[in-house]
Amino acid sequence: MSASDASLHRRLGTVDTVVLGLGSMIGAGIFVALAPAAAAAGTGLLIGLAIAAVVAVCNAMSSAWLAARYPQSGGTYVYGRERLGPFWGHTAGWSFVVGKTASCAAMALTVGHYAWPAHATPVAVAAVVALTALSYAGVQKSALLTRIIVATVLAVLAAVVVLILGFGGADPARLTGGAAPAHGAASWYGVLQAAGLLFFAFAGYARIATLGEEVRDPARTIPRAVAIALAVALVTYTAVAVAVLAQLGSARLAASGAPLADAIRAAGFTGLAPVVAATAALSALGALLALLLGVSRTTLAMARDRHLPPLLAAVHPHHGTPHRAELAVGAVVAVVTALVDVRGAIGFSSFGVLLYYAIANASALTLGRRVLPTVGLVGCLTLAATLPLSSVLAGAAVVLVGMLAYAAQRGRRQDRVTAA
């Protein structure tokens, strides 16, 4: 058996699978997405969070059903290919890879800005290189580090929520009052745009599906892991959003570059602000690790089908990891990290990931499921369309490039068959 034909090793149980999903979800939204979402929705932030949660639940269930049926690396790339045809599989994989590359860059820059603001970009690139080396050495080591990070972050977030709501100056009236968003009174468009931005925070369960080939007893483990990870993330996000909004109000939250640190200072616990900042960097580090794992596994699946260079399909004979795909993804992310800013990357990433999940829901419809996949499909397309215009245009252009590349590749294959 050649390295490119080898299967990945099934080493992940339920706990590690849940932790890898949480490592991607916890951090991205808590420390990054709340402020731009508040700028879009004002006091409608919590409604936007609820809408994002509903869409996330639908997507998660569709993904879990499909992952149990197709326990392979690649996630919706595989589901779309098997249920809807190669074109939609390729579109899903392309959307995921480009969208999550932007997410990786956003998380790396978050690490840099919190850890050493004066040298944020070099620190971000160093973080990408270090975590690429870690994932190269084996997914079990990645799961162990992510478990430590997630436990630490959840403990600090719980303390922040308790201190703000129990001992700070949080005012429940701020949950429904305060200044309107910059574009005027809170509207359904603004709420939907906020939901699309907050969805960026809920997409971590995709990591669980893309690791399907490395999960033990996937038909049982994957649906359970998705449900547990999403439930923990939903509770955490709701508690933190309520605490920060009640402490700062929508106007201050929208203007904040570090909402949790600002909220804990406003609550009178200034000495804890450095702890929150350190936790933000640690959380973004965990999210970056989980994202690199997911993107490399989708790259592996696409390379196996020759939609990406076949040399990326190799599996390391000792570590059992897609080492070439991991190195390639790490190199691309390191370059992109130097070219984007955090907030701009969120909208671009959300567009790609929402399209990815729209294809997942459409694939789940072919399994005979109806209600949740339909709600998820309509929700994904609606939220994608209401993202900031620059994100929609950039995302649509990049996805179109992927579609054209697939069409050109398919045409060359047909020409070779005809010539033969």
Task: Write down the pLDDT at residue 144.
Answer: 72
Look at 383 and 211; give whichever has higher pLDDT: 383
Task: Work out the average pLDDT over 336-363.
Answer: 88
pLDDT in tens, 60-119: 889 888 987 887 767 788 899 999 999 999 999 999 889 989 889 888 988 887 788 788
Task: Write down the pLDDT at residue 191.
Answer: 93
Per the domain annotation, does 169 fall within a domain? yes
- CATH number of the domain enclosing 324: 1.20.1740.10
Q: Evaluate if residue 28 carries a pLDDT over 60.
A: no
* Max avg pLDDT among 80-89, 295-304, 409-418: 80-89
Total of domains in the chain: 1
Range scoring the smallest mean pLDDT among 5-14, 246-255, 313-322: 5-14
pLDDT in tens, 178-195: 555 554 445 889 999 999
**Are 132 and 330 in contact, with CB atoms under 8 Å apart?**
yes
Per the domain annotation, does 418 fall within a domain? no
**Domain membership of residue 216 as a residue range:** 10-411
Task: Write down the pLDDT at residue 72.
Answer: 75
Task: Write down the pLDDT at residue 362.
Answer: 97
Task: Write down the pLDDT at residue 87.
Answer: 94
Q: Residue 28, Cβ neighbours under 10 Å: how many?
A: 30
pLDDT in tens, 225-253: 888 888 888 899 899 999 999 999 888 88
Per the domain annotation, does 1 fall within a domain? no
Task: Write down the pLDDT at residue 178.
Answer: 53
Per the domain annotation, does 3 fall within a domain? no
Look at 255 and 165; give whichever has higher pLDDT: 165
pLDDT in tens, 388-412: 898 999 999 999 999 999 998 887 7
Q: Evaluate if residue 5 carries a pLDDT over 50.
A: no
Task: Work out the average pLDDT over 127-138.
Answer: 85
Residue 1: which pLDDT band, with cuts at 50, 70 and 90? very low
Per the domain annotation, does 125 fall within a domain? yes
Which tokens in the block code for residue 197? 């931005």
Per the domain annotation, does 187 fall within a domain? yes
Handedness of CA 346, 352, 355, 361 (dihedral sign): negative
Using alpha carbons, select from 39, 34, 42 the residue that is nearest to residue 175. Answer: 42
Per the domain annotation, does 61 fall within a domain? yes
